[in-house]
Amino acid sequence: MKRHVLLGFLALALSPGLARGEAILPAIIDVVVDGGNNYPWQKVELPGTKCGNGSQYKFFVHKTGSPNVLFMLEGGGACWDYDTCSGRAGVLGAANPNGIPDDYMQQITAKYVSPLVNGADPGLPGRSRTDLVTKGWNIVYLPYCTGDVHVGNNAATYTDQTGANPPLTWHHSGYTNTLAVANYTRSQFPSVQKLLVTGYSAGGAATSSAYYFIRRSVNPAKGYLLNDSGPIHLAPNITFDSRALHDQIRQSWNLNSVFAQLPASFSQGDFGTINRMVAREFPNDQLAYTGYLRDYNYSRFSYERFHTPNDKESVLSHWKKDQDRLVAELNLYPNFSYFIPYERPINASHCSTIITFVGAHACQKMEKKRYPWEYLEWPYVQSYKCYSEFVTMDTFLKRFINDNQRVRIYEPPNGYNAEDPGMSLLAPLLNGALGG
């Protein structure tokens, strides 16, 4: 039945002359991801926590009786000036500049955001649901409203350069919020067996930046870190491509005051040493990074405002250079995994664990088909084939969390997802609903 409903939506959404109705596209997501989650979320407000605009910070908890906890750090941009903090910059600015409403978990972002939260990857209509390792876990969900990847510690005043509006006072209070939520988590779940700290985009950066504080506060028997598409690249000096971004946020978010509390295995002069620090401080934990090699979202934050030329391919060349260095660094630590597919035409190849795992797969030997008869295999338009193991995201998660295996896949350039006929239909619909 769902397959026919989806085809009906496809006809409507792709018909010429019809507006891209805001009601149609979320309905398509509802079909594709099987309704998201409908958990009985508990809203929590703690004294001293606030959003960027000064309003009360709110986070949400789903209790199940499981011994395990999913600590989810929401993503959504970053800010360090008037345009990006006020909301005027749109998707390249801070998420939720007006704060967090009480019904936040019923809105599209939190309801559909991640199969990890929903406990299953429904895939496409006609494809069976795949239960994930997080199914049935307790969940602590941290919305994002401070523009500082959940770790800022500064009250800043930003001036509107157009002169149209008065200065904006913005509270980069992510560190205070995150630590308060971590301490609350310990009080509610005093005997956690498995703690998975994860997040996507800005929440991915928070996963790495705040893992030390969260892990020590909750104190689980076993810790897991999964950074989705928020890499903190090595940048010991200005010759490294991410250094300009790091210098900007160091000042705007007062990060030295936060990172000064980290152990000596972290170097204040190079934010990228955060990966070394967590690997050494928690050698028995399982740590992982996932993200696409052609991520044209986070890469724009990292380089577009700081380097010229800043066209797409120039930005992505910076990204690849930094990603190669990141992989070389992670290879030094036996408890670090990585899962890096080449590209997925959903959300500009940004984030591996959001909305659906369709297209979130990686193959170490993805190559052009070697033999003429392989072009007779379905789909006929597909010119690439995996000549090693084809690892899906749910398989990676099972091995990483349940089996405690180290998994390292860095997929070479290929057109597998670009040539997938199903993806060519699905991607425009999801991109429309995601707003890009």
| 3-class secondary-structure state, position 321 | helix
| Cβ atoms 96, 58 nearer than 8 A | no
Q: What is the pLDDT of residue 93?
A: 86
User: Max Cα separation, the chain?
Assistant: 67
Predicted confidence (pLDDT) per residue in 297-327, tens digit: 999 999 999 999 999 999 999 999 999 999 9
Closest CA to 233 of 204, 265, 197, 262: 204
CA distances for 230 relative to 161, 259, 343, angstroms: 29, 17, 16
Domain spans, the chain: 24-434
Does residue 73 or residue 23 have the better pLDDT?
73
Give long-range contacts, CB 8 A cutoff, 24+ apart: 413-416. 413/293, 413/342, 414/342, 414/366, 414/367, 414/384, 415/383, 415/384, 416/342, 416/363, 416/366, 416/382, 416/384, 416/386
| Cβ atoms 149, 75 nearer than 8 A | no
Q: What is the DSSP letter of 144?
A: -
Residues 6+ apart with CB under 8 A from 15: none
Residues constituting the chain: 436
Q: What is the pLDDT of residue 33?
A: 58
| Cβ atoms 53, 171 nearer than 8 A | yes
Q: Phi and psi of 288, rounded to 5°?
A: -155, 150
Dist. CA 272–CA 270, nearest whole Å: 5
Q: E strand or H helix at 265, and its extent?
A: none
CA dihedral over 183, 187, 193, 194, signed as positive or negative: negative
pTM over 0.75: yes
Residue ranges of alpha helices (H) inside 41-156 are: 82-86, 108-112, 115-118
Predicted confidence (pLDDT) per residue in 383-422, tens digit: 999 999 999 999 999 999 999 999 999 999 999 999 999 8
Predicted confidence (pLDDT) per residue in 146-201, tens digit: 999 999 999 999 999 999 999 999 999 999 999 999 999 999 999 999 999 999 99
